[in-house]
Every structure is written in structure tokens, then in C-alpha cells.
Structure 1
Amino acid sequence: MAHPIGLAHLSAMELEPAALIDLAANTGHASVALRLHSAAAGTPVYPMVPGSVETLALRDYAHSRGIAISEIELVPITHNLAPDTLRPLLQVAKELGATGLIVTGDIDDRALLIDRFAAICKNAAAHGLLVHLEFMRWRAVGTLSDAREVVERSEQHNARILVDLLHLARSGGTAEELATLPPDFVNLVQICDATAELQGDIIAEARGGRLIPGQGALPIQDMLSALRGTWNAALELPGMGEGDARHTALAEARAQVEKLCR
């Protein structure tokens, strides 16, 4: 089955949204996820205001380039995050035509985290959005099992797990574990390759050490084949340089992902 291939903003974080849309269009992608919320202090972010000329112009520009704005990212669920403060972001997401919000779990108190996650899901549902919980080994929600627990216990119809194949591999997850998920638990899969074993710092690898699919050792085909239900694919591939070099790398990677997703 063919899946639309999106482009995650991490693949070119220095590009503003309109430029990322151009990059996606020029490399054969179908959609983009936009970094409109700060993931960490000192990292690039491109906030937008609901109802602003800029927001509506970006929506129209994406449409003119044939690119969907699929998800808005990245919201770490921390002790300091009040779910209601995300309402303007959710409104922007709706105005841009996005279908989902990407979050991470960063509260060790699991009951409190689930409560915050459920509240975000309820607010997002009012804007027609799914909420994709992304697990990363260095966060409180660090494994597929952690993410599954949060989604199940939240009891929210729009709660989903985001599976990044690199994070799955580095947290000890397997294709067999993916196969146990209910078909509707995963709507978004971020794809890249990597070395068989971690080389150096895990965060540095995630943000700049990913490989083009087929150039590493991850069992990508097995992982994707294990997923049930309907899901979308996104290429997350930072570190591919700039200009023509990045254009060539992302186009090649997108073509490889299309083959894997057939």
C-alpha cells in the first residue's frame, strides 16, 4: 500500500515554513510538519498567530505548491506546561489545515503526565486534531511500551503514538512489539536509517546523525510491515547539508521511502 511521504521540519530546521514547503515540493514530498512550538531552549521555532495575515498566507502558499501541512510540532509535556495555553497553537493548526499535534512526555509522574496528555487531547479534538505522542529514550516517555500505556490510559479517541524508527531501535523496540499494537494506535511514522549500534551521543545522533534509508542497518522493512491499519510516513533526515546536496539527498531518501512503503 502506498503512503503519502511527508517531510519533518527537523530535516531542515534553519528554514522558515515557506522555505520548507518549497523544499518539500521540490523533492517530491506530499506534506510538511512545521515546528511552531519550541521543543527546547535555543532551538529554532517559528511561532504563528491565529487569524493573522501571515498564517492565512502560509496556508494559501502551501496549497499553491501542492503541499499539505500535516502536523504541528513539538510540544514537550512538562510540569510547567498548562494545557490551556496551547489553545492559540491549536487554532493556528486548524487554520493551516493540519491534522495533528506532535508532543513528547517529559513528566516522570506517570499519572500527572497522563492527565496532562488527556487534557491536551480534549482541547485538540475540539480543533479536529489528532495528538501524536512521540517516545524518545532520554525522555520520561522513552519506549513504545511507555507511549502505549499513556495512550491507553488517557482513553482519548484522538490519542496516537508517533513511531520514529530511530527512537524505536535505540530504545530496544522491535517489529514484533509494533505488531501487537491495535491498528488505530499509529497514524504517523518517521523514517530514517542508522548504524546497527549507537555511535556516540544519542541526542546528537537523533538531531544530526541519521542516515538515508538503505544506507544503514535498521530493519526498516520489517518494522513497517509490522504496522497495521492506515498510517502516514514522514522523512526525518537532518544533517544532509544545504542547497543542492540536501535537495539531492532528500529526493533520494524520499524515493527509497516510497519503495519501502509500497
Structure 2
Amino acid sequence: MSRIYSLAYLTSNTCTPPQAVRLAAELGYAFVGLRLLPNAAGAPQQFLIGQPEVLRETVAAQRDTGVGIFDLEIIRIAEGFDARSYLPLLEAGAALKAKAVLVAGDDTDEARLTDGYARLCELMQPYGLTADLEFMPWTAVPDANAALRIINTAGRPANAGILVDALHFDRSSTTLDDIRAIPRELLHYAQICDAPTRAQRGSDFTGEEMIHAARCERLLPGEGGIDLKGLFDALPQDLPVSVEVVHLERMAQLGQTEWARQCLAVSRAFLEPQA
């Protein structure tokens, strides 16, 4: 089965939004992901919110190429979360006809985190965006079971979702049975990459090591030890795949275009070996 691929922000992080769209079109990706808000104060991002010319250029690139915007990053739900402060991101998402927003859970009070997530989903509904809660082992949503519990307790809003990242699947306590237990309607896309595993290393990873790998040093599918075959067999076969393979050193050596080309080619060969 031919799959749909999206060029994730981390795989194209030297590009502006319109550049990312045109690069995706050149290489054969159907969508791109954009990071319009940083994942931490002062961290890298792409600038579009509040910049109407960049928005116009991005929409024009979409129109010219047929490449869509799949997901936007990032909303973090922490103590004191105010969903309405993210309205500029949601408005940009509607203008770009994006499909999903990546959501991270940082509030260690799960009841409060659940309430914040429910309020966010309600706020997002008029914008046509899903709120895809990504489990990450160093956050307050450390595994797939926690993500599903939060969404169920929130009343399973119509636009709720769970984002499965291959790296976080492997480095959390999540099992393949946990992945199979996620209701189909909560799965909108998944992220692929590879990395060394605990078994290969012979010890657990620290939180700092997991964060570094996630943001700076992922491997191409087949280069590490993650059970990608098992994972993607457990996920729906028609699920869009976000190619999120950041390796800052190799990207600098190869250049943005060649790196993004290799990421798509290797991911496609791994997931569609007969194609």
C-alpha cells in the first residue's frame, strides 16, 4: 500500500515555511509539518504568526505545489495553561488548512492537565484542527496508556488524538499491545525515525539523553534497533507518516535538500519494501 508522507519540522529545520513546502514538493512529500511556536523559550522555530507576508508566501507555495500543511507545533499544557493564548496559532492553522496540532503535556497534576486538554479541544473545534497529544517519557504524559487515559477522562472530544512517535514508543514503557489498544479514531498520523535501544546500549537512558536524541540525533529507519516493523504493523496501514529524522551533524554535512531526500527514500523503502 502506498503511504502518505509528511516532511516534519525537525527534518527540515533550516527552511522557512514556504521553503519547506517547496522542498517537500521537489522531493515527493505530500505534506509538511511546521513549528510556529518553540518547544521551549528561545528555542528554534519557524516564523509565520504575525507575519502576513510569510503567510501569503506559504499559502501561495501550497497553491503552486499541491503540498499541504499536516501538523503545527507546539502547544504545551503546563500549570497555569491558558488555551486562549494559543489562538494566533489556531488562526494560522485555519489559514493554512492544517490538519493537526501537536500537544505536549507538562502539568504533573493529571486532573488539571486533563481539564486543560479538554478546554483546548473545545477551543480548537471551530478551526478544524485535531489536538494530537504526544506521549514522551520525560513529560507528564510518559506513555500511550497515560495519553489514552487523559483523553478518555476528558470525555474523548471529537477532535482528540494521540500522536505515536517511534522514538518515544521505544524509550517509554509502551508496548505493541498498548499501540493496538488505541482507538482508530484517535490516530491521525505517526512519526518515524530510528535510534539505539536500551538493549543495544545495555542500560537505561537519562531524561537528558532522551531529549538530546529526540531533538538532535535521530537515525534513519533501519540504522538503530527500534522495532519499527512491529510498530507500523500495529498501527493502521493507511495512517499518514511524518518523517521526523533530525541528525544535526549529518544534516550539516549533507545539506538540507539531500538529507530530506534520504529521509524520505529510506522511510519509504522501509515501509513499502515492494514499492
**Same fold by TM-score greater than 0.5:** yes
Give the distance between the partners of 1:207 and 1:51, measured in 2 at CA.
26
Residue aligning to 2:65? 65
- Residues 32-90 of structure 1: CA deviation (Å, up to 9, x unaligned): 11111121022112343479343133112123133211111111111233101112211
Give the distance between the partners of 1:190 and 1:80, measured in 2 at CA.
29
Shift, 1:182, TM fit: 1.4
Residue aligning to 1:217? 225
Residue aligning to 1:167? 168
Which segments of 5 or more consecutive residues in structure 2 lack a partner in the other structure? Answer: none
Paired residues in the alignment total 262
Choose which of 235, 245, 251 in structure 1 pairs with 2:243: 235
Percent identity between matched residues is: 29
Give the distance between the partners of 2:40 and 2:266, measured in 1 at CA.
31
Q: Structure 1 runs of 4+ off > 6 angstroms?
A: none
Question: In structure 2, do the counterparts of structure 1 residues 50 and 249 end up closer, same or farther at CA, with 3 Å as the change threshold?
Answer: closer
1:204 and 2:205 aligned? no
- Verify the 8 A CA contact 1:11 1:238 in the aligned structure 2: yes
Aligned letter for 1:7?
L
Shift, 1:253, TM fit: 2.5
Residue aligning to 1:119? 119
- Residues 195-253 of structure 1: CA deviation (Å, up to 9, x unaligned): 12266711111111210011111110110111137421110011131374443333232
Specify which structure has the higher proportion of helix.
Answer: 2
Aligned letter for 1:231?
L
- Verify the 8 A CA contact 1:136 1:167 in the aligned structure 2: yes
Give the distance between the partners of 1:22 and 1:242, measured in 2 at CA.
20
Question: What's the TM-score, normalizing by structure 2?
Answer: 0.88
Which segments of 5 or more consecutive residues in structure 1 lack a partner in the other structure? Answer: none
- Verify the 8 A CA contact 1:59 1:97 in the aligned structure 2: no
Give the distance between the partners of 2:21 and 2:91, measured in 1 at CA.
20
Shift, 1:27, TM fit: 2.6
- Verify the 8 A CA contact 1:166 1:192 in the aligned structure 2: yes
Shift, 1:20, TM fit: 2.0
Question: In structure 2, do the counterparts of structure 1 residues 49 and 41 end up closer, same or farther at CA, with 3 Å as the change threshold?
Answer: closer
Residue aligning to 1:5? 5
Question: In structure 2, do the counterparts of structure 1 residues 45 and 152 end up closer, same or farther at CA, with 3 Å as the change threshold?
Answer: same
Question: In structure 2, do the counterparts of structure 1 residues 150 and 178 end up closer, same or farther at CA, with 3 Å as the change threshold?
Answer: same
Question: In structure 2, do the counterparts of structure 1 residues 49 and 204 end up closer, same or farther at CA, with 3 Å as the change threshold?
Answer: closer
Residue aligning to 1:103? 103
